[in-house]
Amino acid sequence: MAVFNSSEYSWADLSIALGGRILDGVTGLEYTEKQDKDRLYGRGNKPHKIIRGNKEFEGKITIWQSELEAMVRDAPDNDLLKLNFEVIATYKPHDGGQTVTDILVGCEWTEIKKAFSQGDKNMLVELPFVFLNVKPQQ
């Protein structure tokens, strides 16, 4: 009988490296892998199988404004939209469970938007990005 480790991961277990630097000022990370799928119809009125098309990868990261400004300072021509980078997300549970590292390859920002409202104590910037592939559990 197989025994499975059912440890859960928390935000405190996550380290995110971007461009070779671990981010301290990060408050959110999301990434998605999608594949175009459709039903293949033939004889009758029910599908015979599922057919697969192209894959698509996208995500977003939420960071402090100070992290954004550091990235802008180091970007070619101070233009974040010119950057190509990897995101390395490492989940290492404190209770000794399995360490998991996902590598997002060929990332590029699609939008940079700053917003501030009265009463805000700091600026959080959400940066959407697209990427070419995810290498899971490296």
The CA distances from residue 51 to 10, 40, 133, in Å, are 36, 6, 20
Three-state SS annotation for 20-89: CEECCCEEEEEEEEEEEEEEEECCCCCEEEEEEEEEEEEEEEEEEHHHHHHHHHHCHHHCHHHCCEEEEE
How does the average pLDDT of the chain come out, rounded? Answer: 93
CA distances from 116 to 68, 71, 79 (A): 14, 19, 21
From the centroid of its chain, how far is CA 56?
13
The pLDDT of 103-125, averaged and rounded, is 95
Assigned architecture for domain 12-37+50-135? Roll (2.30)
Q: In this model, does residue 58 exceed pLDDT 90?
A: yes
**Mean pLDDT (whole number) for 65-74:** 94
Confidence of residue 6 (pLDDT cuts 50, 70, 90): low
In percent, how much of the chain has pLDDT > 90? 83
Tell me the domain boundaries of the chain.
12-37+50-135
CB contact at 8 A, 23 and 68: no
Over its C-alpha atoms, the chain yields an Rg (Å, rounded) of 19
pTM comes to 0.87
- For residue 90, is pLDDT > 60? yes
Of 138 and 77, which is predicted with more confidence? 77
pLDDT category at 114 given cuts 50, 70, 90 is very high
